[in-house]
A = this chain, B = another copy of it.
Amino acid sequence: MVLVPHADVASPSAPARTPSLLARLGAVVGPRAHDLADRLLDLESWIARDLVEVEGELGRLIRGDSLVEKSAHHLLDLGGKHVRPLCVALASRAGGGFGAAARQLAVAVEMVHSATLLHDDVVDLGETRRGSPTARLVYGNAASIFAGDWLLVEALRRIRAAGVSGLLDEMLAVIEEMILAESVQLENRGRINTALTDYFRVVEGKTAALFRWAMLAGGRAGGLPLDSCRALERYGHHLGIAFQAVDDLLDVHGDAAVTGKALFTDLREGKMTYPLIVALERDPALLPVLAECARLPPERPLPAPAIDRVLAALVATDALADCRALARRHAGEAARAIAPLPDGGGKAALVMVAEMTAGREK
């Protein structure tokens, strides 16, 4: 469950990605392109190494035997892509390196993310997460709510202990943004005619804000100057949007066996995603079909004709292609945002992560 394969780096499953990556990296790391293929391999193994380190740190979290701690670990042990901690790691490498403080901050950002998932699963009555039953199904809603609270507080204590000034205040502000975005999403729930402006408000608050913090945290822990940290934050903002756009895409068009999530989960929870909003704008006759899907109780499967109708519209209106294009555009913006940073492995790896994020299939 990691963003890149650990061992089989030149895996045949992603051959189409490499030329484009090489091209983009070429633009970033400068004209010395003769050793670019080697360099790419170096970068991928480097990212993999940082992920292993982050995962080791997450695995060493204290495990009490209380119901609340067990619920929290149930989710953490299911893994995940760990792209937020990876952001902290790579941003710190764009500066002085991935040291002890950055490692604490990387763990903290994953804990905050996990806290929101635990609360979201209670709110959405979620049953499956990362291909397994949600913590609320295993340990109950109550334990999930308190486990979210616990992870949040533990994360804040870690950020405090990391001792990098300003980061705790920024995280508190980010969590507030996240909650207010949840509120907007809640108010729009079941409203099929969601405006794209509301969609972007939710994505910026719920997803992009935490990516932004991850980049800031890594930059600050790596000792980078203010303007570089601001550039990293812009990267995080755009990467977050790209990440969410692909999540949206996978919800309507992914392979459930790979993503661990059933198709159309967002729609069934009454959440209109980017491809659905775009498809509806271009094919208004889709409205009653979407409304029917959103209204159906969770235990009833979606009718095959409705699925076929929505999928056909997503293709015919180019909504799927446009969603991937949105992700690529923001990944490009992310890469451009850090162009002023000094060249080096950290920066090159961040560009690669942006590229992989926009292209990911799981």
Q: Give the interface of A toward B (CB within 8 A).
A: 64, 66-69, 119, 122-123, 140-143, 145-146, 148-150, 152-154, 156-157, 160, 168-169, 172-173, 175-176, 179-180, 182-184, 186-187
Contact = CB atoms under 8 A, between A and B. Distances in A.
Given A157-B176, A175-B153, A176-B154, A183 B119 contact: no
Secondary structure of the A contact surface, majority rule: helix
B146 A66 contact: no
Interface centre among A142, A152, A160 (most CB of B within 10 A): A142
B142 A186 contact: yes
A157 B172 contact: yes
Contact of A150 (B154, B179, B184): B179
A343 to B, nearest CB: 37
B68 A180 contact: yes
Contacts of A172: 153, 156-157, 160
Contacts of A180: 64, 66, 68, 150
B68 A119 contact: no
A123 B183 CA distance: 20
Contact of A168 (B146, B160, B179): B160
Contact of A119 (B64, B146, B154): B146
Given A154-B176, A160-B172, A176-B154, A149 B119 contact: yes
A150 B172 CA distance: 10
Contacts of A64: 180
Contact of A175 (B143, B149, B176): B149
Given A68-B179, A68-B180, A179-B68, A142 B168 contact: no
Contacts of A66: 180, 183-184, 187
- Please list the 4 inter-chain residue pairs (A to B) with the smallest Cβ-Cβ separation, ordered nearest first: A68-B183, A66-B183, A123-B142, A150-B179
Contacts of A183: 66-69, 143, 146
26 contacts: A64-B180, A66-B180, A66-B183, A67-B186, A67-B187, A68-B180, A68-B182, A68-B183, A69-B183, A119-B146, A122-B141, A122-B145, A123-B141, A123-B146, A145-B145, A146-B182, A148-B149, A149-B149, A150-B176, A153-B172, A153-B179, A154-B176, A157-B172, A157-B173, A157-B176, A160-B169
